[in-house]
A = this chain, B = another copy of it.
């Protein structure tokens, strides 16, 4: 008997019929002898409906009151799912965030879970109940309802799995797992059975948006095996439920005999770069420029500064394409006042990254990557590396060609 935490998103519980299907799936797991705790989101569309009501009242709602209103979405789902389980003969109990002991800090709209007092959940489990917990919400020390912000239901599920020492946390979604790259770009992309937390973090942050990055960080921190799988497919086997298992490197190595060099290819279409040429090469330059950008809540992705010459240096960074003009407006006067020689930008770039824990011991990955791109005459504008990732910035028009070329070159289509 295993203890499984399952999470179903808004689409999976988007209608009465879908809620009934989720109930059947949950019952299949208990019938197979497992204990199940379920975290659910609001029915799809419901959160936006509630936000819309608030927006019609005021353009600047109090975050405490917004949490009060928005948290009702999940509360409706847990009650309905519990009823659906009763209807098919499975004992079940719903719990709101505060009833489930989900203690958070006091930051409304993006609270962080501080502790889970799981007594009520544990009692219900030992009484043979399925426990259904409202995702995305908790309670702070003032006794106010908080919400966890975007992707919060994934985080709820992982936090529950960690607190309950669950054997696995299963995130049900409308895709059947994590792919070597986006199948819309490379139809030969292959679903991975296994990926490490670190790889998933690199993949997720770059566009493979299957899971909220915060829940992966959380799972990594508490070593909760995390499985992404489809809520549309039938259950094949309770021992091998399919999807992609995201786990620690230890478990990965235990399960994966022959480790691939590269696990997947991530990319980010929406990048823009800004280059400042010939700024004085002295301490504080990077801070002066990027400090102002950060103060304007613009997120900076890559930052590259090469060794300078003539006491000047060239400095390049990338931002989301939507922030390009705003960033330029901030940086231009700044660069001029520093006496920079030139400031230029490009809104038509993309970032492509190879990700894999295997690359640590293989210095040849980068050169194989550069060679494959050169064979297709794809010019590399910037390079950046980390322990398990090599990223390049190229012109946007080469994105698909680059992804397919690398996918083939690193043999990702075959197991």
Contacts and interface: CB of A to CB of B under 8 A. Distances in A.
A16 B20 CA distance: 33
A116 interface: no
A83 interface: yes
Given A58-B86, A68-B78, A80-B53, A120 B94 contact: no
Interface residues of A, number: 37
Contact of A65 (B50, B61, B68, B82): B82
A75 B83 contact: no
Contacts of A75: 68-69, 71-72, 75
Interface string A64-92: 11101101100110111011101100000
A65 B99 CA distance: 13
A16 B72 contact: no
A52 B149 CA distance: 29
Contacts of A58: 83-84, 86-87
Nearest to A62: B86
A37 interface: no
A88 to B, nearest CB: 9
10 contacts: A16-B56, A50-B76, A54-B79, A57-B84, A62-B82, A66-B79, A68-B78, A68-B94, A69-B75, A98-B98
Interface of A: 16, 19-20, 50, 53-54, 56-58, 61-62, 64-66, 68-69, 71-72, 75-76, 78-80, 82-84, 86-87, 93-94, 96, 98-99, 120, 143-145
Lowest 8 CB-CB distances: which A-B pairs, in order? A69-B79, A68-B79, A72-B72, A58-B87, A16-B56, A65-B79, A65-B82, A57-B83
